[in-house]
Structure 1
Amino acid sequence: MGRLNIFLLALVIFCAMVVVEQQHAARSLFVALGQEQQAEHQIEVAFTRLQLQQVTLAKGERVDAVARTELGMSPPAPGSVVFMPLDGGFQYE
């Protein structure tokens, strides 16, 4: 009977150690999950800022102002625009 008790005690201690190890692993994964969720939130905020910046920079007024001031561009003269219809040939404005 003594050997059985020692065997059962060893089995209980082994099971307790496995439970402690599994709980530690679960807590470590939970902490990692929280960190990844925080990183995801930061990425979403940065993406939203980039979308807002893209909308701001793509506005027609901004593009027109940059083209005129920084690139020195101006609208074409009315007589220099040539339209090509789908059926072929040229049409002058």
Structure 2
Amino acid sequence: MGRLNILLLALVIYCAMQVVDFQHEARTLFVTLGSEQEAERQLDVAFTRLQLQQVTLAKGERVDEVARRELKMIPPQPGSIVFMPFNTSGGARE
């Protein structure tokens, strides 16, 4: 009976140590989850800022300003504009 008690005591101690180890691992994973969720929130905020910046930079007024200021572009002279007919049939006109 003594050997059985020692074997059961060893088994109980082993199980208790496994429980402590698993609880520690679960807490560590929970802390990691929290930090990863915070990183996700920060990435969402950065992505939203980038989307807003993209919309701002793509506005026609901004494009026109950059074209005039940095590229030194000017609007075409009225007499230099040529309009071409648009053929939607896909074939040559008869």
- Normalising by structure 2, we get a TM-score of 0.86
Query: Highest relative contact order (Cα 8 Å, sep 6+), 1 or 2?
Result: 1
How many Å apart are 1:76 and its aligned residue? 1.1
Aligned residues: 89
Matched, 1:25 2:28: no
For residue 53 of structure 1, report the CA deviation from its aligned partner.
Answer: 0.7
With structure 1 as the length reference, what TM-score do the two structures score? Answer: 0.87
1:25 partner amino acid? E
RMSD across aligned C-alpha pairs, in angstroms?
A: 1.5
| 4+ residue runs over 4 A deviation | none
In the other structure, the counterpart of 1:36 is: 36
Determine the structure 1 residue equivalent to 2:60: 60
Distance 1:75 1:61 in 2: 14
Q: Could you say which residue in structure 2 is the equivalent of 1:10?
A: 10
Q: Residues of 1 paired with 2:79 and 2:26: CA distance? A: 75
Structure 1 vs Structure 2: percent identity of aligned residues? 74
> What is the alpha-carbon distance in structure 2 between the residues aligned to residue 22 and residue 85 of structure 1?
76
Deviation at 1:38, TM superposition (A): 0.6
* Structure with more strand by fraction: 1
- CA distance in structure 1 between the aligned counterparts of 2:41 and 2:4, rounded to whole angstroms: 55
In 2, Cα distance between equivalents of 1:5 and 1:76: 99
**AA partner of residue 46 (structure 1):** A
